[in-house]
Copies of this chain bind each other. A is one copy, B any other.
Amino acid sequence: MKASRWPTALLAIGLVVSAVVLDAAIARASDPLPSWKDGKAKQSIIAFVKKVTSTGSPDYVPPAERIATFDNDGTLWAEQPMYVQLAFALDRVRELAAAHPEWKQKQPFKAALEGDFKAVAAGGEHALLELIMATHAGMTTDEFAGTVSTWLASAKHPRFKRLYTGLVYQPMLELLAYLRANGFKTFIASGGGIELMRVFAGQVYGIPPEQVIGSSIKMAYEVRDGRPVLKRLPEIDFINDKAGKPVGIWRQIGRRPIAAFGNSDGDFEMLEWVTRGRGPHFGLLVHHDDAQREWAYDRKSPIGNLQRGLDQAPKRGWTVVSMQKDWITIFKP
Protein backbone atom coordinates (compact mmCIF):
# COMPACT_ATOMS: atom_id res chain seq x y z
CA MET A 1 0.00 0.00 0.00
CA LYS A 2 2.98 2.29 0.41
CA ALA A 3 3.37 3.10 -3.27
CA SER A 4 -0.27 4.10 -3.52
CA ARG A 5 0.13 6.60 -0.68
CA TRP A 6 2.27 8.90 -2.79
CA PRO A 7 -0.32 10.24 -5.21
CA THR A 8 -2.71 10.76 -2.29
CA ALA A 9 -0.05 12.56 -0.32
CA LEU A 10 0.87 14.80 -3.24
CA LEU A 11 -2.78 15.49 -3.95
CA ALA A 12 -3.39 16.36 -0.32
CA ILE A 13 -0.38 18.67 -0.20
CA GLY A 14 -1.51 20.24 -3.45
CA LEU A 15 -4.99 20.79 -2.09
CA VAL A 16 -3.72 22.26 1.15
CA VAL A 17 -1.24 24.50 -0.63
CA SER A 18 -3.80 25.72 -3.15
CA ALA A 19 -6.37 26.29 -0.40
CA VAL A 20 -3.86 28.30 1.61
CA VAL A 21 -2.73 30.28 -1.43
CA LEU A 22 -6.32 30.89 -2.47
CA ASP A 23 -7.42 31.96 1.00
CA ALA A 24 -4.44 34.29 1.36
CA ALA A 25 -4.99 35.79 -2.08
CA ILE A 26 -8.60 36.45 -1.23
CA ALA A 27 -7.68 38.03 2.07
CA ARG A 28 -5.29 40.43 0.35
CA ALA A 29 -7.56 41.24 -2.56
CA SER A 30 -9.22 44.64 -2.41
CA ASP A 31 -12.57 42.84 -2.79
CA PRO A 32 -12.70 39.58 -0.86
CA LEU A 33 -16.18 38.75 -2.21
CA PRO A 34 -16.06 39.57 -5.94
CA SER A 35 -19.22 37.59 -6.79
CA TRP A 36 -21.27 39.61 -4.29
CA LYS A 37 -22.83 42.85 -5.50
CA ASP A 38 -22.29 45.83 -3.26
CA GLY A 39 -25.27 46.09 -0.98
CA LYS A 40 -26.56 45.45 2.51
CA ALA A 41 -25.85 41.71 2.51
CA LYS A 42 -22.22 42.03 1.46
CA GLN A 43 -21.66 45.00 3.76
CA SER A 44 -23.12 43.16 6.75
CA ILE A 45 -20.72 40.24 6.23
CA ILE A 46 -17.66 42.44 5.90
CA ALA A 47 -18.66 44.62 8.85
CA PHE A 48 -19.07 41.54 11.05
CA VAL A 49 -15.72 40.04 10.06
CA LYS A 50 -13.90 43.35 10.60
CA LYS A 51 -15.54 43.79 14.00
CA VAL A 52 -14.59 40.38 15.42
CA THR A 53 -11.05 40.38 14.02
CA SER A 54 -9.97 43.90 15.01
CA THR A 55 -7.70 43.62 18.04
CA GLY A 56 -8.70 46.30 20.49
CA SER A 57 -12.33 46.22 19.35
CA PRO A 58 -14.81 45.49 22.16
CA ASP A 59 -16.25 42.84 19.83
CA TYR A 60 -12.92 41.11 19.19
CA VAL A 61 -13.20 37.32 19.21
CA PRO A 62 -10.06 35.17 19.57
CA PRO A 63 -9.43 32.86 16.58
CA ALA A 64 -10.21 29.66 18.51
CA GLU A 65 -13.76 30.91 19.04
CA ARG A 66 -14.33 32.02 15.45
CA ILE A 67 -16.57 29.09 14.55
CA ALA A 68 -18.89 29.37 11.56
CA THR A 69 -21.45 26.71 10.61
CA PHE A 70 -22.97 26.31 7.14
CA ASP A 71 -25.99 24.33 6.09
CA ASN A 72 -25.23 22.43 2.87
CA ASP A 73 -28.32 21.74 0.69
CA GLY A 74 -29.57 25.05 -0.69
CA THR A 75 -26.91 27.01 1.17
CA LEU A 76 -23.67 25.77 -0.37
CA TRP A 77 -25.03 23.82 -3.34
CA ALA A 78 -28.30 23.40 -5.25
CA GLU A 79 -31.09 21.31 -3.69
CA GLN A 80 -33.64 21.35 -6.54
CA PRO A 81 -35.40 19.52 -8.11
CA MET A 82 -34.49 17.07 -5.32
CA TYR A 83 -31.81 16.73 -2.66
CA VAL A 84 -28.60 15.38 -4.20
CA GLN A 85 -28.64 12.59 -1.64
CA LEU A 86 -32.04 11.46 -2.88
CA ALA A 87 -30.81 11.48 -6.48
CA PHE A 88 -27.94 9.29 -5.29
CA ALA A 89 -30.35 6.93 -3.48
CA LEU A 90 -32.60 6.60 -6.55
CA ASP A 91 -29.64 5.85 -8.82
CA ARG A 92 -28.45 3.26 -6.29
CA VAL A 93 -31.89 1.63 -6.23
CA ARG A 94 -31.72 1.27 -10.01
CA GLU A 95 -28.22 -0.17 -9.76
CA LEU A 96 -29.10 -2.63 -7.00
CA ALA A 97 -32.44 -3.64 -8.55
CA ALA A 98 -31.04 -6.70 -10.34
CA ALA A 99 -30.15 -8.21 -6.96
CA HIS A 100 -33.59 -7.34 -5.57
CA PRO A 101 -36.26 -8.66 -7.99
CA GLU A 102 -38.88 -8.13 -5.25
CA TRP A 103 -38.44 -4.35 -5.61
CA LYS A 104 -40.43 -4.41 -8.86
CA GLN A 105 -43.58 -5.09 -6.84
CA LYS A 106 -42.71 -3.37 -3.58
CA GLN A 107 -43.13 0.33 -2.70
CA PRO A 108 -41.37 2.68 -2.49
CA PHE A 109 -38.86 0.78 -4.66
CA LYS A 110 -41.36 0.19 -7.47
CA ALA A 111 -42.04 3.92 -7.75
CA ALA A 112 -38.33 4.72 -7.55
CA LEU A 113 -37.54 2.26 -10.34
CA GLU A 114 -40.32 3.69 -12.50
CA GLY A 115 -39.06 7.23 -11.92
CA ASP A 116 -42.39 8.12 -10.33
CA PHE A 117 -41.09 10.64 -7.81
CA LYS A 118 -44.59 11.79 -6.90
CA ALA A 119 -45.42 8.30 -5.69
CA VAL A 120 -42.13 8.19 -3.76
CA ALA A 121 -42.93 11.54 -2.17
CA ALA A 122 -46.48 10.37 -1.38
CA GLY A 123 -44.94 7.63 0.79
CA GLY A 124 -43.69 10.39 3.08
CA GLU A 125 -40.80 10.19 5.47
CA HIS A 126 -41.16 6.44 5.91
CA ALA A 127 -40.70 5.78 2.18
CA LEU A 128 -37.64 8.03 2.02
CA LEU A 129 -36.17 6.30 5.05
CA GLU A 130 -36.66 2.90 3.41
CA LEU A 131 -34.85 4.08 0.28
CA ILE A 132 -32.04 5.58 2.33
CA MET A 133 -31.56 2.47 4.46
CA ALA A 134 -31.58 0.14 1.45
CA THR A 135 -28.90 2.20 -0.28
CA HIS A 136 -26.86 3.70 2.59
CA ALA A 137 -26.58 0.78 5.04
CA GLY A 138 -25.22 -2.76 5.03
CA MET A 139 -21.74 -1.91 3.77
CA THR A 140 -18.54 -0.67 5.41
CA THR A 141 -17.73 3.03 5.68
CA ASP A 142 -14.96 2.58 3.08
CA GLU A 143 -17.27 0.82 0.64
CA PHE A 144 -19.92 3.52 1.04
CA ALA A 145 -17.41 6.32 0.48
CA GLY A 146 -16.19 4.55 -2.66
CA THR A 147 -19.73 4.27 -4.05
CA VAL A 148 -20.45 7.94 -3.35
CA SER A 149 -17.17 8.99 -4.91
CA THR A 150 -17.81 7.00 -8.09
CA TRP A 151 -21.35 8.35 -8.36
CA LEU A 152 -20.29 11.99 -7.84
CA ALA A 153 -17.67 11.61 -10.57
CA SER A 154 -20.28 10.75 -13.21
CA ALA A 155 -23.89 11.59 -12.23
CA LYS A 156 -25.20 14.73 -13.89
CA HIS A 157 -27.80 17.22 -12.70
CA PRO A 158 -31.01 16.90 -14.80
CA ARG A 159 -31.34 20.63 -15.59
CA PHE A 160 -27.78 21.90 -15.74
CA LYS A 161 -26.14 18.74 -17.13
CA ARG A 162 -23.15 19.27 -14.85
CA LEU A 163 -21.68 17.17 -12.08
CA TYR A 164 -23.45 17.91 -8.80
CA THR A 165 -20.19 19.15 -7.30
CA GLY A 166 -20.17 21.80 -10.05
CA LEU A 167 -23.46 23.19 -8.72
CA VAL A 168 -21.92 24.83 -5.68
CA TYR A 169 -22.47 28.54 -5.20
CA GLN A 170 -19.47 30.64 -6.16
CA PRO A 171 -20.38 33.48 -3.72
CA MET A 172 -20.48 30.98 -0.85
CA LEU A 173 -17.09 29.52 -1.84
CA GLU A 174 -15.70 33.06 -1.65
CA LEU A 175 -17.40 33.54 1.71
CA LEU A 176 -15.89 30.31 3.09
CA ALA A 177 -12.44 31.37 1.92
CA TYR A 178 -12.87 34.92 3.26
CA LEU A 179 -13.85 33.64 6.70
CA ARG A 180 -10.96 31.16 6.81
CA ALA A 181 -8.52 33.86 5.73
CA ASN A 182 -9.78 35.77 8.76
CA GLY A 183 -9.07 32.97 11.20
CA PHE A 184 -12.48 31.32 11.18
CA LYS A 185 -12.90 27.56 11.36
CA THR A 186 -15.66 26.66 8.89
CA PHE A 187 -17.99 23.71 9.56
CA ILE A 188 -20.84 22.17 7.61
CA ALA A 189 -23.96 21.50 9.72
CA SER A 190 -26.46 19.84 7.43
CA GLY A 191 -29.51 17.62 7.65
CA GLY A 192 -27.87 15.56 4.92
CA GLY A 193 -25.88 12.40 5.56
CA ILE A 194 -22.54 13.10 7.18
CA GLU A 195 -20.69 10.32 5.33
CA LEU A 196 -21.90 11.41 1.92
CA MET A 197 -20.77 15.00 2.49
CA ARG A 198 -17.39 14.00 3.88
CA VAL A 199 -16.52 12.42 0.53
CA PHE A 200 -16.47 15.74 -1.33
CA ALA A 201 -16.40 18.51 1.31
CA GLY A 202 -12.59 18.61 1.38
CA GLN A 203 -12.06 19.01 -2.32
CA VAL A 204 -15.12 21.15 -3.06
CA TYR A 205 -15.39 23.39 0.01
CA GLY A 206 -11.95 23.03 1.62
CA ILE A 207 -13.67 21.57 4.70
CA PRO A 208 -11.98 18.49 6.22
CA PRO A 209 -14.08 15.50 7.38
CA GLU A 210 -13.73 16.41 11.07
CA GLN A 211 -15.51 19.71 10.32
CA VAL A 212 -18.55 18.08 8.73
CA ILE A 213 -21.65 17.60 10.90
CA GLY A 214 -24.72 15.83 9.53
CA SER A 215 -27.36 13.19 10.00
CA SER A 216 -26.06 9.70 10.64
CA ILE A 217 -26.96 6.05 10.87
CA LYS A 218 -25.50 3.73 13.51
CA MET A 219 -22.27 1.87 12.97
CA ALA A 220 -20.66 -1.24 14.43
CA TYR A 221 -16.99 -2.17 14.67
CA GLU A 222 -16.13 -5.59 13.24
CA VAL A 223 -12.99 -7.54 12.49
CA ARG A 224 -13.29 -9.46 9.20
CA ASP A 225 -10.46 -11.91 8.53
CA GLY A 226 -8.22 -9.81 10.72
CA ARG A 227 -9.22 -6.58 8.98
CA PRO A 228 -11.12 -4.10 11.17
CA VAL A 229 -14.05 -2.36 9.50
CA LEU A 230 -16.93 -0.11 10.49
CA LYS A 231 -20.21 -1.49 9.24
CA ARG A 232 -23.10 0.86 8.50
CA LEU A 233 -26.33 -0.32 10.15
CA PRO A 234 -29.92 0.28 8.94
CA GLU A 235 -30.81 2.34 12.01
CA ILE A 236 -31.01 6.11 12.43
CA ASP A 237 -28.42 7.49 14.84
CA PHE A 238 -29.13 11.21 14.68
CA ILE A 239 -31.11 13.67 12.55
CA ASN A 240 -29.18 16.91 12.30
CA ASP A 241 -32.09 19.13 11.32
CA LYS A 242 -34.24 21.85 12.94
CA ALA A 243 -33.90 21.63 16.76
CA GLY A 244 -31.37 18.84 16.16
CA LYS A 245 -28.83 21.23 14.61
CA PRO A 246 -27.77 23.01 17.81
CA VAL A 247 -27.53 19.57 19.48
CA GLY A 248 -25.47 18.07 16.65
CA ILE A 249 -23.17 21.07 16.51
CA TRP A 250 -22.62 21.08 20.27
CA ARG A 251 -22.05 17.34 20.31
CA GLN A 252 -19.27 17.58 17.75
CA ILE A 253 -17.72 20.99 18.47
CA GLY A 254 -18.56 21.72 22.12
CA ARG A 255 -18.72 25.42 21.33
CA ARG A 256 -21.48 27.72 20.17
CA PRO A 257 -20.61 29.14 16.73
CA ILE A 258 -20.56 32.92 16.30
CA ALA A 259 -21.87 32.80 12.72
CA ALA A 260 -24.42 30.56 11.03
CA PHE A 261 -25.55 30.33 7.41
CA GLY A 262 -28.67 28.58 6.13
CA ASN A 263 -31.52 28.80 3.65
CA SER A 264 -34.57 27.04 5.10
CA ASP A 265 -36.58 26.67 8.27
CA GLY A 266 -34.49 23.56 8.94
CA ASP A 267 -31.82 26.10 9.85
CA PHE A 268 -34.04 28.24 12.07
CA GLU A 269 -32.96 26.85 15.43
CA MET A 270 -29.29 26.91 14.43
CA LEU A 271 -29.52 30.61 13.57
CA GLU A 272 -31.61 31.34 16.65
CA TRP A 273 -29.12 29.59 18.95
CA VAL A 274 -26.11 31.26 17.36
CA THR A 275 -27.55 34.77 17.18
CA ARG A 276 -28.77 34.81 20.76
CA GLY A 277 -25.38 33.85 22.12
CA ARG A 278 -23.29 36.19 24.21
CA GLY A 279 -20.96 38.47 22.34
CA PRO A 280 -20.99 39.30 18.63
CA HIS A 281 -22.77 36.94 16.27
CA PHE A 282 -24.04 36.74 12.71
CA GLY A 283 -26.94 34.95 11.00
CA LEU A 284 -27.61 34.74 7.27
CA LEU A 285 -30.29 33.13 5.10
CA VAL A 286 -29.84 32.51 1.39
CA HIS A 287 -33.18 33.30 -0.30
CA HIS A 288 -33.80 31.41 -3.53
CA ASP A 289 -35.52 34.06 -5.65
CA ASP A 290 -33.80 33.61 -9.00
CA ALA A 291 -35.95 31.35 -11.20
CA GLN A 292 -33.89 32.21 -14.24
CA ARG A 293 -30.39 31.38 -13.05
CA GLU A 294 -31.40 28.87 -10.36
CA TRP A 295 -34.87 28.45 -8.76
CA ALA A 296 -37.36 30.63 -6.93
CA TYR A 297 -38.96 28.97 -3.91
CA ASP A 298 -39.65 29.61 -0.23
CA ARG A 299 -42.96 29.46 1.69
CA LYS A 300 -44.67 26.74 -0.32
CA SER A 301 -41.77 24.55 -1.36
CA PRO A 302 -41.54 21.06 0.16
CA ILE A 303 -37.76 21.26 -0.36
CA GLY A 304 -36.03 24.12 1.41
CA ASN A 305 -39.24 25.44 2.93
CA LEU A 306 -38.66 28.94 4.30
CA GLN A 307 -41.42 30.79 6.16
CA ARG A 308 -40.55 31.42 9.77
CA GLY A 309 -37.03 32.49 8.82
CA LEU A 310 -38.28 35.06 6.30
CA ASP A 311 -40.84 36.42 8.76
CA GLN A 312 -38.45 36.72 11.68
CA ALA A 313 -35.19 37.69 9.95
CA PRO A 314 -35.75 41.46 10.23
CA LYS A 315 -36.46 41.53 13.96
CA ARG A 316 -33.69 39.04 14.69
CA GLY A 317 -31.16 41.00 12.67
CA TRP A 318 -30.46 38.18 10.23
CA THR A 319 -29.12 39.03 6.80
CA VAL A 320 -31.33 37.76 3.96
CA VAL A 321 -29.45 37.28 0.71
CA SER A 322 -31.36 37.67 -2.53
CA MET A 323 -29.68 35.33 -5.01
CA GLN A 324 -31.11 37.45 -7.80
CA LYS A 325 -29.98 40.83 -6.52
CA ASP A 326 -26.97 40.10 -4.33
CA TRP A 327 -25.11 37.54 -6.38
CA ILE A 328 -23.27 38.39 -9.61
CA THR A 329 -22.53 34.73 -10.29
CA ILE A 330 -24.52 31.75 -8.99
CA PHE A 331 -22.47 28.64 -9.71
CA LYS A 332 -18.76 27.97 -9.65
CA PRO A 333 -17.53 28.71 -13.20
Q: Kindly report which residue of chain B lies nearest to residue A145, judged by CB atoms.
A: B254
Residues of B within 8 A of A223 (CB): 272
Known: A2-B279, A246-B230, A247-B219. A255 touches B209 (CB 8 A): yes
Q: Which residues A1-18 have CB closer than 8 A to chain B?
A: 1-6, 8-9, 12-13, 16
CA distance A198 to B251 in the complex (A): 11
CB < 8 Å neighbour of A2 from B58, B219, B246? B58
Q: Mark A209-231, 1 if CB is under 8 A from B, else 0.
A: 11010001001110100111010
CA distance A59 to B210 in the complex (A): 23
Give the copy number.
Answer: 2
Whether A212 pairs with B12 at a CB distance below 8 angstroms is no
CA distance A234 to B279 in the complex (A): 30
CA distance A237 to B13 in the complex (A): 37
CB < 8 Å neighbour of A276 from B8, B220, B226? B226
Number of interface residues of A (CB under 8 A): 54
Interface: A62 (CB within 8 A):
yes
Interface: A294 (CB within 8 A):
no
Known: A2-B279, A59-B2. A247 touches B227 (CB 8 A): no
List, sorted by A's number, 18 A–B pairs whose CB atoms are closer than 8 Å: A2-B279, A5-B58, A12-B65, A16-B63, A16-B64, A141-B250, A194-B251, A209-B253, A209-B254, A210-B210, A212-B254, A220-B247, A221-B243, A221-B247, A223-B272, A227-B276, A228-B269, A230-B247
